[in-house]
Amino acid sequence: MSASEFNFDGLIGPTHNYAGLSFGNVASASHQNQPSSPKAAALQGLEKMKFVYDLGIGHCVLPPLRRPRFEFLRQLGFAGTDKQLLDKAYADSPVLLASCYSASNMWTANAATISPSADCEDGRLHITPANLSSTLHRSIEHPSTTRHLRAIFSDSECFAVHSPLPSQAGLADEGAANHTRLAPSHGQSGMELFAYGVDTTNPDAPKPGKFPARQTMLASDAIARNHGVAKDRTYFLHQNPDAIDAGVFHNDVISVGNENVLLCHELAFMDQANQISKLKQQFESTYDSPLFVVQFSSEEIELSDAVSSYLFNSQLVTRPDGNMTLICPLECQENPSALACTQRIVAESNPVDQVVFLDLRQSMNNGGGPACLRLRVVLNEQQQAQIHQGVVFNDALYGRLVDWVNQHYRDRLVPDDLRDPNLVDESLGAIEELARILEMPAEVLLDVG
């Protein structure tokens, strides 16, 4: 059965703000407490979706989570009316207030890890929502994310939506941002690459010293096991601690793969030359087809430029003609080293023959580029018919979502606005309307009942 890749993009929520909550994310920290524009952020994200859709690539949307989460504040000792909660949290712990408002689920590359049915022993597509236990503001996402995914992928004969891994340090999981799949085509059984930052079972294993490693070896191993991916098609790559300390908090900030192409920096992984050699040998012997690896040295682009430009967080997609487009943020065009790297990619012999630059500054300022905003899901024809059809992107849905954003989103949001009760009403009203647009039960999107 033929299969195609669908990009599930996260709709950026109406409480998008720059609270700088993500330790180790350089862009997030550098824009802390600056004014944000939820409306511009959401419209930029929708423009990217429309661009990919117009390339002829399947596209779907994932809804934002309900914010704020007052139950989170109540669980931490705040009491009173909603207005009193806002005032008390603002006075006592702005970090907790910002956490309950966080719109960070917009980066759906962290929503889950996906293994297509062609890779799984039971022939179903497997999904494990990420527990995101490494950061406070994101650790509260997974119950709602799981509920959304189970509503969209509800057919148990086609899909298996697992529970997230237990939320504890040794099983920290950050989703598809640390997962890459290689195959000659999306529909073939692939090689699944799991990148991890720390092996908690080995105290002598290298680890970063400045910033935390967010993905553990145990978590990656458990996901591969739960998904039923064949061991000879499963690869575990240890992230380079120096890269993590330079701001590479997820592997998709330093490496991106799509079908038979892998783009990476030379400092992406430990023992990289040997690991890449093994991958190429295994790929080419398995498929009798080349694996195109485009690797960049520190002389071509320093880690600091890779992180600031988000070159490797560009979105790499296969068009219907079989060639590939690399979708980069504008920052890559403005950074001489990153721009030169994109020119080298299209100049070399590989399937990437087009590079485009899109404005995603609102997301970029908070530490997420084009690849962060999408979750890759390979669906065969039967599965395409069984997902919830209300989230499938098309021109009509695009128009309705643009109107929805313009109606419900603020042009500007600053930290003081998080204590405004009107923002609460605006956010909930937007989610209620979105449930109607996406034809999903309001109780699912509002996460009640």
| Length of the chain measured in residues | 449
Catalytic residue among 5, 59, 142, 174: 174
Q: Tell me which of 100, 158, 264, 372 is the catalytic residue.
A: 372
Residue of 250, 259, 332, 408 marked active site: 250
C-alpha–C-alpha distance, residues 309 and 3, integer Å:
32
∠ CA 140-221-311 to the nearest 5 degrees?
Answer: 70
59 a catalytic residue: no
174 among known catalytic residues: yes
**Which residues are marked as active site?**
174, 250, 372
